Structure 1
Amino acid sequence: MPDSPRWRRLAACAALSLLGLGAVAGGCGDSSDRATLSVLAASSTREVMRELGVAYHREHRDVQVRFTFGGSQEMAARLPERGAGDVLVTADEVTMNEADENLTGRRRVIAHNAMTIVVRPGNPRRVRGLRDLTRPGLRVALAASTVPAGRYARKIFKGAGITVRSAAEEISVRAVLDRVRTGEADAGLVYITDLKAAGVAASSVPIPALENVTATYAAGAVRDGPNEKEAARFVSWLTSPVARQLFNKYGFVTPAP
């Protein structure tokens, strides 16, 4: 009869199963059949992506999803490093296109968003709209121009015919939100969905639809990643009915199937 650690472990698992202790035996599977997907994602997707990872694991029990969040450009810059990640999720298509040589397969548009003005609770500086951001003495935080949220903000300002001087240029949209939440800035431009994450720690001044922009989120599998096939499957799944429902729950708009 075979005698090895693996054989003894399998025999023990079989015994547990016969005793009806399936939950205890749940860790008895062969770990070599499991995969851990590493997803590099835009910081504005933090809450929804974590729930998406749980939902994906529920459907694909052999796959765990691990996330690293930051500015889209920061995440894309990691791709040339071997084993940096399996999937890239960006808050714009520009960054996704710039990362093209490190990606493989079909890119997917997975969600849309829009911008809003974030202010401190109660709006103590009485910001009423975009043009108020030009007021002398108002401390405005923006994402850097290399960051999707920064590009979107400057596009909005250009369309409105105004010049807004930034008191701080951040590496991610969540850093902008944090500046306002901590009182280091009076106002900033963030995604509408960021206000959901801020809760009562921030207030919003809406930007009219005609002056706003549509932010497009995209996902792609990393070329020669350790889990390339599974990465492609996850990217495709991000447009599934389950994924769309979760994006909508967090305030994102999803493209038509």
Structure 2
Amino acid sequence: MFSKKLILAVCAIFCSLSAWSQQQNLLIYCGITQVRPITELARLFEAKENVRIQIAQGGSEDLYQSAKKSRLGDLYLPGEPSYREKHLAEGLFGEHKVVGYNQMAIIVQKGNPKRVKGNLNELLRKDLTIMIGNAESGSVGQETRTMLEMAALYPKVVAKAVELMPDSRAINLAMKRGEADATLNWRATSFFPDNATHLEAVDLDAKIAKPQALLLIQLTFSKNPLLARKFVDFVASEEGQAVFRKNGFLDNKSVK
């Protein structure tokens, strides 16, 4: 179930922009993990184009449902491409570009004190306390389920997890509070400055943790389609790719 609070927040964003003309505004629905690079790029774009960009952040599924309910906004950036595939037939999605890649990893406490290895079976170790993402709310939970189902481990890991968390940010906050020894999360989040001093990534084989394309999708009900397309092109440019690399994401060239 999507969050009513998120829908109200989106409506509040637009109300707060009443002094601006529609041609000067963009609203982006952005998955939690991508908020840092998108915020940096939004500020750069604002300065170049003399526009204002608002960012609604949350779990990818919750964000989609908010956009669908409110019919407000211009762009949608989920944490993995399956959200486009899942909802494409509903007619809300227009053109898109790949602006980077997410990749999953096992995230552990800094220094890896429990010596966790890059193997999904490690999550079943009796000496480890684990948590994972909720597949019904965000991309990290959905990708966790996909990976663990392929390894025939999902029911066992769910049963062992102390909690199912709504998104990548909630997972990292709980990890930093010491509530678990290990989790599955997007690798890039371990590079964020507020996480890097507490957490680190244990990489998985790329055949298991497949890079997931980040699709910046135009919404068909956007009132600013030309401006939205210009922002998409900016994020997909070399300047935009450099910002994604800086924040720990894979870029288009490295994956190709």
Same-fold call, TM cutoff 0.5: yes
Aligned to 1:149: 140
Q: Single out whichever of 33-42 and 191-200 deviates more from structure 2.
A: 33-42
RMSD: 2.3
When residues 208 and 224 of structure 1 are mapped into structure 2, their CA distance, relative to the original with a 3 A threshold, is closer
When residues 94 and 210 of structure 1 are mapped into structure 2, their CA distance, relative to the original with a 3 A threshold, is closer
Amino acid at match of 2:229: A
C-alpha contact (below 8 Å) 1:105/1:232 kept by paired residues: no
Question: Matched residues in 2 for 1:226 and 1:169: separation?
Answer: 37
| Structure 1 segments unaligned to the other structure (5+ residues) | 1-29
**Normalising by structure 2, what TM-score?**
0.79
Which of 249, 252, 256 is residue 255 of structure 1 equivalent to?
A: 252
1:44-71 deviation line (CA, Å, top 9, x unaligned) = 011111111012123212x111112111
Amino acid at match of 1:171: P
Q: Report the alpha carbon displacement of residue 111 of structure 1 after superposing the two structures with TM.
A: 1.1
Which of 121, 125, 136 is residue 135 of structure 1 equivalent to?
A: 125
Which of 92, 95, 98 is residue 83 of structure 2 equivalent to?
A: 95
| Structure 2 segments unaligned to the other structure (5+ residues) | 1-18
Aligned to 2:182: 187
The yes-or-no answer on 1:48 pairing with 2:37 is: yes
Which of 64, 69, 80 is residue 81 of structure 1 equivalent to?
A: 69
Amino acid at match of 1:211: I
- SS in structure 1 of the partner of residue 53 of structure 2: strand
**Normalising by structure 1, what TM-score?**
0.79
Which of 73, 96, 103 is residue 114 of structure 1 equivalent to?
A: 103
Identity percentage of aligned residues: 22
More relative contact order, 1 or 2 (CA 8 Å, 6+ apart) = 2
Could you say which structure has the larger radius of gyration? 1
Question: Matched residues in 2 for 1:33 and 1:41: separation?
Answer: 20
Equivalences for 1:195-206 in 2 at 5 Å? 195-197=190-192, 198-206=195-203
Question: Matched residues in 2 for 1:151 and 1:82: separation?
Answer: 24
When residues 31 and 65 of structure 1 are mapped into structure 2, their CA distance, relative to the original with a 3 A threshold, is closer
C-alpha contact (below 8 Å) 1:220/1:232 kept by paired residues: no
- SS in structure 2 of the partner of residue 39 of structure 1: strand
Aligned to 1:232: 229
Q: Report the alpha carbon displacement of residue 195 of structure 1 after superposing the two structures with TM.
A: 0.3
- Aligned pair count? 227
Amino acid at match of 2:115: R
